[in-house]
Each structure stands twice: as C-alpha cells, then as structure tokens.
C-alpha cells in the first residue's frame, strides 16, 4: 500500500543539505532547543565546539582512521541473491552495518561524539540505551579513550537485553537501571537528561539517535551519513547507477537518517522509513510515531510524538527494544511533511517473519530493528522488475535478540 | 497591575521576602489538592506556583516526578488545573503562576492557553523547557502581555545571557540555586551570593526568587537576604507523599508553609 505523502507543503528553495537545520537548529517547523536553562549554555557550547572542531582536518582525519581501523569501515554492500530469488522481484542489497564493531551502526556516532568530547577536554560520558546497542557502543569508545562512562537503561530493557548489560559492564561502564515510567528507552533518556543537568559542567552526553535538542539531530546525522556515502559509492561501483529505493527502520531514526541523508537531493531515489507497528496500530500498542503520532515536544526538540490529547507522552510498544520510542528525530518529521520520504509500519509478527527468512536464506541473523526494514523491503520488492535496486540498511546484528525470538516461537 | 507585581510592591513596603510555594495540581487527587492549596494560601504563601503534571518531567527530581505521576493517575490536566484556579479565586487572591513543561501547553494551543489562563485568574506562567530562543512561537499568539512570563536563570548561565533573559522576563526571575534537578542537595551560599549579585545588577528591578534545594526554614532564612523571595516545592511534595492517605495532609503542609514564612 502506498501512502499519500507525495504532496509537498514545505517548499525547498535550496538543496536541503545546505539549509537544514537553520542557524537555530530548526528543520522547518521541527527541531529546536527545548531544554531547561541549566542545559542551554551547555548545548550552545556544544554547538560551537562541534562547528569549530568538526571543521578541523586533524579531527576528521582521526575520525576516519578510527572508523577504518577500529570500527571496520567500510561495511559491505551485499547483494542478497537468495532472498531476491525467493521474492522474485526487485534486487535487494543489504548494507551490512551489522558487521561494524559492536555489531551495529551505533559505533559510527559514538566514535564521533566521544572523539569530540575528547577534543573538548571532557573525560566523563553518559548515554541512554534501549536495546543496549548504543550503550555498548558508548561503553566501547569510553574504554578506548579511557573515559568514565555511565549508561542509563530502563529496567524492562535491562531484563530484555541482559547480554548487552553484561557487555557494558565488562567494558567498564556503570549501568544505571531506570525504574520510572515504563522502564524503557524514553525513561532512560529522561533520566540521562536529569543526570546531565547535575553533571553538565564536566560530562558529555552521547545521545544515541537523531533526537534531542540542537545540535544533536544534526551532529548524529553527520556522524551517521558515512552509511549513505558508502552506499552511494558501492552501488555506483556494483551497478553503475544509484539505487531506486532505500529502506531503513526508524525508532529515533539515526540509521535511516545516515542512509538517507546523502541521497536527499537525488530525487530518483525513493526513501522508505519503517516504524514498528507492535501489536498493530489499531491496538494502540505500537511505536509508529510518524504514522500515528502528532506534533509535540519531547526530550528537547519538536517533532512527531506519541501523545494523548492533553500532551502527555504515551508508551510505545515494539518487540524490538531499539524501536520502542514514542519520539522520532525532527529531520524525519520534515522529510515526511515534505513528502521526500515515506514512512510505513511493520508489526512484531512481520518483523519476526523477515528475521527468519534472512537467517534461512542468507545466513545472516539480523537485529529485530533491521528486520522491520527488511520486512517492508520484501513487500516493496515484490512484483517489481529485477532491474529495480533496493538497499536495505541492516543496521545491526541479531545476537542480542535471540532470547526474544526463542520466546516468540514458544 | 498584575497581582504578582502588586504582591512584590506590598512585600517591599513591609520589608518582607516572598514565599513562593510550588505544589503539583491534582496531587494526590483533585479534591484534596484544592484543600491543600487553600491551606497553603491561608498559612502564608505569597505566590502559588501550580505545577501542571507532565509525563516526562526531565528538570525535576524523583519527588516531584512521583507527584506528577500521582496527579496524572488522578486525572489531572491543564483544563482541570484552570478549573482549580477558578475555584481558588473565589476565596483567595494569592498570585498564581502556572508551572508547566511545554508539551501540555502546545497540545492545548497557545492562544487558548493565554485566554483561559487569564480567564481562570492565573497571573503568570513558567515553562521550564521553553528557553527565550524558542518562546516567540508561543507568545506571538498572545494579544497582550497580561500574563507574566517568568524566566529561569541557572548557575551555568553566563552573564551576558543573564542580561538577555532579564530583558524578556516579567513577574519575577527564578534563579535556580544549583546545577541539578529539583529537590537535590542544599544551596551553596557563597556561590549563590555571587550569582544573585551578578543577576541583580542585570535585571533592572525585576524581583529575583531563588529556588531548588530550599526545604527547611534555616535554608530560607539563610537565602532570604540575597533575594526577593524563595521558592519551595519538593519539601511540600514530600509531606503530601508521606501523608497522602492521612486526613491531616493539608494541615501538615500548612504548618510547613507557616514555619518557612516565619523564617523569611
């Protein structure tokens, strides 16, 4: 089913690269900085430091070296021949972020932010995590740089993702279980912001998605765009042309933003973000923020959120802890409003089905997050000519989800 | 003249400092909340800060977080808070500041918020996560500026930013006494005395009230020479939490208010 997001209420006068966000961190009507005064000076300082330091050749060189020799970039772009054969439609390529160090795209961003923290002279980092992938990636770079590290994680996610809790602790991080609310990613992020208010003078907050107050959505996007940049180059090499469609899962939306961003000004490349429909959107137990949410302010920026009529944030649900977030990055809200990207939703059962298909057909165990993207890509590919090229961002590997998958089978 | 300005003028004449009392609207339930607030007003609160509960109060500590959760469970929202203010206005003329996070106001609608706030008898609003940089989108929907816009200044705020904030503030400036969330620690008087003099030199006569970390009469007494008033919130919410099933909850909060006011 195609949605009707082709109309473009937000006119683009110049390439989106150059204009987004504006000087106040706004992506059209979204984004901005909605935080308490205690944090405002810190994020203004961060914005200035990021602008200054990221422009230095020495910083970029060090980051490139780390991405190559530590994170293992570039990750492959793999033609999934058996999956393509089974569907009998468009050719599906997998961008293998699951092969990056720590098993997910999260390492691109945490290397960037921790390196920035180091150049800013900060020795302590904190982060929030849902599935634990961002927590593991942050703990990893903290160990690499000899930084003190504290990770906030909802008690429900601590339970669902205990292997990742062990990994973080092995890497020397302190995992702080967050009991408030539903004990998931939203609550972990709220608690991390609260802690940051108290420790803001010497602590760098490594936000894991293209969410939060400006400059985070821009900064995380910039650190993740390596996914799209590589995809472009690799697809040109493999097929001599750009892909026809990009598909990526969207919780907060960092892996999708990283894949989409370098293609925004290539109008022939269709972009599909895939949200978690949980038990189904009609049941109310889902995480389809762009599909079923409305405009609000959460965790420092204006974007689509899941909320009730009184502006109270609602609980999100997904079988995948990494998509279980009632907000979304503001740039995705803009892409949706402009009609530049289309956002679909896949439910728990659909994600599980795609998970098993990829295991059986390609010998790859995908994260449940990525399985949502894969499930939608299979629908998009079906009935299309083989000459059509679809890239699915395989944002992470599924080792962390084996317990959940086993349970779902039982 | 706005009730808040009037109040500070009266206090100045009497050489008194303001006790600004924060309480979450609807905690532990709307009926008892109204009784608690009435008692607070009778017991010496000069300005009432009425907290509109929000599901994700990132600037608040655990005590106020829990109070918000109780109030939300009891069905509180912005329109019901306005009803409470309207009912209070029948019996008391204490200036009332609606304290909120931005999202409930955004959902309610900026213009409607302005109209209903004034209609119900509120005098000001403090939106904890709406810095001056983002507040035009709300205030441009306000036909006049009859509703005072209380601004926050933090220990991390640099001096030139203090000046800019002071220029766009009305009612009073809320000086956050410590780098942290509500209800944590005690104010550091040396730092606070530096902060208040820095801020006062820049705020052109707007009253300055100090909050965060003030829970006991001795804190209030120590801080009061530095400011025009003190804000106390978590201390009251602790009492409400401890006595939520006790019929004497309102009088216990009232006693705390009396002791704090006496120390100012």
Kindly write down the DSSP assignment for every residue of B113-153, as one continuous string. Answer: HHHHHHHHT--EEEETT--GGGTHHHHTT-SS--SEE-EEE
| Mean pLDDT of the A333-344 span | 96
Considering A169, A185, A216, which residue would you say is the last residue of a domain?
A216
Which region among A5-9, A186-190, A371-375, A397-401 has the lowest average model confidence (pLDDT)?
A5-9
Q: HEC string of B14-66?
A: CCCCEEEEEEECCCCCHHHHHHHHHHHHHHCCCEEEEECCCCCCCCCCHHHHH
Tell me whether A327 touches chain B (CB under 8 Å): no
pLDDT band at B178 (very low <50, low <70, confident <90, very high): confident
Q: Which CATH number fits domain B3-262: 3.40.50.970, 3.20.20.70, 2.60.40.1180, 3.40.50.720?
A: 3.20.20.70
Q: Which residue has the tokens 């000899």?
A: A146
The whole-number pLDDT of residue A307 equals: 97
Q: What is the mean pLDDT of residues A385-395?
A: 98
B154 to chain A: nearest residue by CA?
A38
Write down which residue in A183, A216, A249 finishes a domain: A216
B103 in A contact zone (CB under 8 Å): yes
Q: pLDDT value at position A160? A: 83
Mean pLDDT of chain A: 94
Domain assignment present for residue A6? The answer is no
Considering the domain architecture, whether residues A129 and A256 belong to the same structural domain is answered as: no
The answer, yes or no, to whether residue A66 has pLDDT greater than 70, is yes
The answer to whether A198 faces chain B, any CB pair under 8 Å, is: yes
The pLDDT of A339-367, averaged and rounded, is 98
Interchain proximity A310–B108, CB inside 8 Å = yes
Pick B179's closest partner by Cβ from A180, A201, A298: A201
Q: What is the reported pLDDT for A13?
A: 47
Q: How confident is the model at residue A181 (pLDDT cuts 50, 70, 90)?
A: confident
A267 shares a domain with A204: no
Strand pairing partners for A148? A124
CB B210 within 8 A of CB B192: yes
SS3 of residue B170 by DSSP = coil
A160 and A185 together in one domain: yes
Which three-class secondary structure state does DSSP give residue B180? coil
Asked, for residue A362, whether it belongs to a domain, the answer is: yes
**Whether residue A14 has pLDDT greater than 60:** no
d(CA A285, CA A316): 6
Same domain (yes/no): A236, A334: yes
At A15 the pLDDT is 53
Q: Which residue has the tokens 């990893």?
A: A140
Q: Is residue A14 included in any domain, yes or no?
A: no
In a domain, A239, yes or no: yes
**What are B126's strand-pairing partners?**
B99
Are A198 and B78 a contacting pair at CB < 8 A?
Answer: no
Query: How confident is the prediction for chain B on average, in pLDDT?
Result: 95
Please tell me whether residues A149 and A258 are part of one structural domain. no
A83 located within any domain: yes
By the CB < 8 Å criterion, does B78 face chain A?
Answer: yes
Q: Is A2 inside any structural domain?
A: no
Token reading at A302: 């204006």
Domain check: are A53 and A168 in the same one? yes
Calculate mean pLDDT across residues A121-134: 94
Residue B60 annotated as catalytic: yes
> Scanning the structure block, which residue is given the tokens 């740089």?
A145
Q: Collect all residues of chain A within an 8 Å Cβ-Cβ radius of residue B57.
A: 190
Domain count for chain A, please give it: 2
Largest CA distance in chain A: 57
Q: Is the pLDDT of residue A409 over 90?
A: no
pLDDT at A12 exceeding the cut of 50 = no
Tell which of B79, B129, B169 to mutate to test the A interface (max A CBs under 10 Å).
B129
Please return the burial class of A331, using the count of CB atoms within 10 Å of its CB with bins 0-12, 13-18 and 19+. buried
Cβ-Cβ pairs closer than 8 A, A with B, add up to: 117
Q: Domain check: are A62 and A208 in the same one?
A: yes
Statement to judge: residues A188 and A326 lie in one domain: no
Chain B (139-178) residues lying within 8 Å, Cβ to Cβ, of chain A: 151-158, 161, 165, 176
* Backbone phi, psi, residue B227, to 5°: -140, 180
Is a pLDDT exceeding 70 seen at residue A5? Answer: no
| For testing contact with chain B, the best of A28, A36, A295, A296 (most B CBs within 10 A) | A36
Two structure tokens written together for B242:
């401890």
Q: What confidence score (pLDDT) does residue A17 get?
A: 55
Positions of A annotated as catalytic residues are: 106, 128, 395
B6-30 mean pLDDT: 97
Read off the pLDDT of each residue in A12-19 and give the average, rounded to a whole number. 54
Is residue B82 within 8 Å of residue B104, measured between CB atoms? no
Dihedral through CA B145, CA B146, CA B149, CA B150, nearest 10?
150
A239 contacts A269 by C-beta, under 8 angstroms: no
Under the banding of pLDDT at 50, 70 and 90, the label for residue A7 is: very low
**How confident is the model at residue A16, as a pLDDT?**
57
DSSP lists the bridge partners of residue A96 as: A394
Residue A4 covered by a domain: no
Tell me, what CATH number does A179's domain have? 3.40.50.1100
Confidence of residue B188 (pLDDT cuts 50, 70, 90): confident
Phi, psi angle pair for A246, to nearest 5°: -115, 135
d(CA A174, CA A193): 16
Q: Quick one: A244 and A310 in the same domain?
A: yes
Token reading at A77: 């772009």
The secondary structure of chain A, three-state, reads: CCCCCCCCCCCCCCCHHHHCCCCCCEECCEECCCCCCCCHHHHHHHHHHHHHHHCCHHHHHHHHHHHHHCCCCCCCEEECHHHHHHHCCCEEEEEEHHHCHHHECHHHHHHHHHHHHHHCCCCEEEEEECCCHHHHHHHHHHHHHCCEEEEEEEHHHHHHCHHHHHHHHHCCCEEEEECCCCCCHHHHHHHHHHHHHHHCCCEEECCCCCCCCCCHHHHHHHHHCHHHHHHHHHHHHHHCCCCCEEEEECCCCHHHHHHHHHHCCCCCCEEEEEEEEECEHHHCECCCHHHHCEEEEECCEEEEECECCCCCECCCCCCCHHHCCCECCHHHHHHHHHCCEEEEEEEHHHHHHHHHHHHHHHCCCECHHHHHHHHHHHHHHCCCCCCCEEEEEECEECHHHHHHHHHHHC
Q: Would A51 be classed as within a structural domain?
A: yes
What pLDDT, on a 0 to 100 scale, did the predictor assign at position B182? 80
Residue numbers of the domain that contains A378: 72-103+224-409
Find the mean pLDDT for residues A261-266: 96
Hey, where are the domains in chain B? Answer: 3-262
Q: Taking CB atoms and an 8 Å limit, are B179 and A296 in contact across chains?
A: no
pLDDT band with cut points at 50, 70 and 90 for residue B240: very high
- pTM for the full predicted model: 0.94
Q: State the average pLDDT over residues A29-49.
A: 95
- Name every residue whose Cβ is closer than 8 Å to that of residue A309 and which is 6 or more positions away in sequence: B107
CB B214 within 8 A of CB B229: no
DSSP B204-256: TT--EEEESS--SHHHHHHHGGGSSEEEE-HHHHHHHHHTTT-TTHHHHHHHH
Q: Is A194 on the interface with B (CB under 8 A)?
A: yes
Q: Which of B49, B116, B228, B237 is catalytic?
A: B49
Backbone torsions φ then ψ of A22, nearest 5 degrees: -75, -175
Cβ–Cβ below 8 Å for B58 and A41: no
Q: What is the pLDDT of residues B247-264, one digit of tens each?
A: 999 999 999 999 999 999
The conformation of residue B155, written as its DSSP 8-state character, comes to: T
Give the three-class secondary structure for B10: helix
């Amino acid at each position: 089913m195609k949605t009707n997001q082709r109309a473009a209420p937000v006119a683009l006068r110049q390439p989106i690269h150059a204009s987004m966000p504006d000087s106040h961190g706004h992506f059209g009507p979204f984004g901005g900085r909605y935080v308490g005064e205690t944090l405002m000076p810190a994020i203004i300082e961060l914005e200035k430091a990021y602008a200054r330091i990221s422009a230095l050749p020495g910083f970029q060189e060090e980051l490139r070296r780390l991405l190559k020799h530590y994170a293992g970039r570039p990750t492959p772009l793999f033609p999934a021949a058996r999956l393509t054969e089974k569907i009998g439609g468009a050719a599906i390529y997998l961008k293998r972020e699951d092969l990056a160090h720590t098993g997910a795209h999260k390492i691109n961003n945490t290397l960037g932010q921790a390196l920035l923290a180091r150049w800013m002279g900060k020795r302590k980092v904190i982060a929030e995590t849902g599935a634990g992938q961002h927590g593991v990636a942050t703990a990893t770079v903290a160990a690499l740089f000899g930084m003190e590290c504290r990770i906030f994680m909802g008690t429900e996610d601590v339970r669902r993702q205990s292997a990742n809790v062990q990994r973080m602790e092995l890497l020397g991080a302190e995992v702080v279980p967050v009991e408030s609310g539903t004990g998931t990613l939203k609550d972990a992020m709220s608690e991390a912001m609260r802690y940051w208010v108290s420790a803001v003078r010497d602590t760098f907050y490594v936000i894991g998605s293209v969410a939060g107050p400006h400059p985070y959505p821009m900064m995380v996007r910039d650190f993740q765009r390596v996914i799209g940049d590589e995809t472009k180059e690799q697809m040109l090499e493999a097929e001599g042309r750009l892909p026809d469609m990009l598909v990526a899962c969207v919780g907060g939306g960092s892996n999708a933003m990283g894949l989409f961003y370098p293609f925004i000004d290539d109008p022939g490349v269709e972009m599909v973000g895939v949200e978690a429909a949980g038990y189904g959107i009609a049941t109310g137990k889902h995480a389809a923020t762009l599909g079923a949410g409305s405009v609000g302010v959460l965790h420092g920026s204006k974007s689509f959120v899941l909320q009730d009529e009184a502006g109270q944030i609602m609980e999100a649900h997904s079988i995948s802890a990494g998509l279980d977030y009632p907000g979304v990055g503001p740039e995705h809200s803009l892409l949706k409003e402009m009609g530049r990207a289309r956002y679909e939703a896949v439910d728990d059962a659909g994600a599980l089905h795609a998970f098993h298909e990829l295991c059986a057909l390609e010998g790859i165990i995908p994260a449940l997050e990525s399985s949502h993207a894969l499930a939608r890509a299979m629908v998009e590919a079906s009935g299309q000519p083989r000459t059509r090229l679809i890239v699915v961002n395989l944002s992470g590997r599924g080792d962390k989800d084996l317990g959940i998958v086993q349970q779902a089978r039982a | 003249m706005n009730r808040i300005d009037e109040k500070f003028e009266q206090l100045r004449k009497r050489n008194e400092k303001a006790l600004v009392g924060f309480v979450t609207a609807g905690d532990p339930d709307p009926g008892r909340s109204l009784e608690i607030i009435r008692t607070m007003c009778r017991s010496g609160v000069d300005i009432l800060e009425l907290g509109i509960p929000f599901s994700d109060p990132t600037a608040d500590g655990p005590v106020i977080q829990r109070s918000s959760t109780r109030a939300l469970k009891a069905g509180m929202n912005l329109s019901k808070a306005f009803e409470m203010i309207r009912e209070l206005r029948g019996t008391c003329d204490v200036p009332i500041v609606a304290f909120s996070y931005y999202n409930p106001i955004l959902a309610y609608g900026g213009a409607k918020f302005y109209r209903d706030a004034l209609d119900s008898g509120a005098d000001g609003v403090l939106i904890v996560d709406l810095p001056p940089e983002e507040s035009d989108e709300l205030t441009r929907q306000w036909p006049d500026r009859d509703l005072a816009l209380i601004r926050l200044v933090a220990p991390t705020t640099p001096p030139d930013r203090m000046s800019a904030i002071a220029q766009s503030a009305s009612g009073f400036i809320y000086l956050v006494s410590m780098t942290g969330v509500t209800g944590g620690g005690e104010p550091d008087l040396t730092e606070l005395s530096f902060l208040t003099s820095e801020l006062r030199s820049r705020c052109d006569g707007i009253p300055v009230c100090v909050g965060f970390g003030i829970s006991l009469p001795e804190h209030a007494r120590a801080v009061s020479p530095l400011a025009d008033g003190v804000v106390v919130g978590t201390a009251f919410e602790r009492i409400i939490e401890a006595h939520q099933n006790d019929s004497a909850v309102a009088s216990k909060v009232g006693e705390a208010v009396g002791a704090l006011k006496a120390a100012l």
